[in-house]
Amino acid sequence: MEGTGYRRLTDSGVALFDFDGTLLKGDSIAAYICFCVRVGFAPPVTLLRALRAYGRYAFGRATALHAKEASLAFLKGHSVRDARDAAERFYDRVIKKRLFHGTLQEMNRCLAEGMTVLIVTASPDVYMEVIAQALGAAGVIATRCAVDAQGFYTGKLASANCSGREKTRRVEAYFLEHHIRFDVTLSRGYGNSLGDLPMLHMTRHPVWVNAKAATARKAPDFKRVTWK
């Protein structure tokens, strides 16, 4: 169940944060795959498979979901416990130093105001669960990796890619599951790409974070900030 083991949920409004490009500089899944190869959690051939998969996606020969699944196939046979250990090391050694200070300050401001902070991302839950908990979020909504009944990853994905309209669908399902009364007047949203746009439209106070000019023009009435 998404949200288990996180900071307690509140009724003081909801803040929705994208991750890659909004809280983090650059792309996290590429960094995760490289890290896993470097520490021996994934075989070196994983890099070639990921490059091939995302190359096919870039040329329209595969969906983002298929590219992501092919890149994460190395998880097959790894236990949830071992994967969490790798994710904790990934956070400590790689993610920490790539987080945007300004966005972290904004997240902490939301938390100090008693808001329910959720990270909503297309990145996989295999490491996003650890990151969200480390940042003090109430929960994370991410692309889910499949786990079998014995607690081992299958190498497949268990959900649609959490981007675009899928973000809004998953957020609404999360609210329903956790009995959160979504007061739009107290809601905030933070994102950097067109994949975040439907989620940002859910909120009263949407913010473009480090968004490209062409992206920001899709919703020019949104607040726009540049955080380093």
Q: What is the CATH number of the domain that holds 106?
A: 3.40.50.1000
* Diameter of the chain measured on Cα atoms: 49
Helix (H, G, I), strand (E, B) or coil at 166: helix
Q: What is the residue range of 219's domain?
A: 14-225
CA angle (151, 164, 96) in 5-degree steps? 60
The answer to whether residue 4 is domain-embedded is: no
Q: Say how many domains are in the chain.
A: 1
Cβ-contact 74, 116 below 8 angstroms: no
The answer to whether residue 2 is domain-embedded is: no
- Beta partners for 190? 17, 207
Q: pLDDT for 127-176, tens place per residue?
A: 999 999 999 999 999 999 999 999 999 999 999 999 999 999 999 999 99
The answer to whether residue 1 is domain-embedded is: no
- pTM of whole model > 0.85? yes
> Long-range contacts for 197-202 (Cβ within 8 Å, ≥24 apart)?
197/164, 198/164, 198/165, 198/167, 198/168, 199/16, 199/18, 199/120, 199/167, 199/168, 199/171, 200/16, 201/168, 202/16, 202/168, 202/171
Report how far residue 193's alpha carbon sits from residue 94's, in angstroms, rounded to the nearest whole number.
23
Model confidence at 11, in pLDDT bands (50, 70, 90)?
Answer: low
Q: pLDDT for 58-101, tens place per residue?
A: 999 999 999 999 999 999 999 999 999 999 999 999 999 999 99
Going by the DSSP 8-state scheme, the letter that residue 99 receives in this structure is B
pLDDT score of 5 more than 60:
no
Model confidence at 121, in pLDDT bands (50, 70, 90)?
Answer: very high
Helix (H, G, I), strand (E, B) or coil at 24: strand
The answer to whether residue 7 is domain-embedded is: no
pLDDT score of 7 more than 60:
no
The answer to whether residue 71 is domain-embedded is: yes
The answer to whether residue 8 is domain-embedded is: no
The answer to whether residue 9 is domain-embedded is: no
Q: pLDDT for 170-218, tens place per residue?
A: 999 999 999 888 888 999 999 999 999 999 999 999 999 999 999 999 9
pLDDT score of 1 more than 70:
no
The answer to whether residue 111 is domain-embedded is: yes
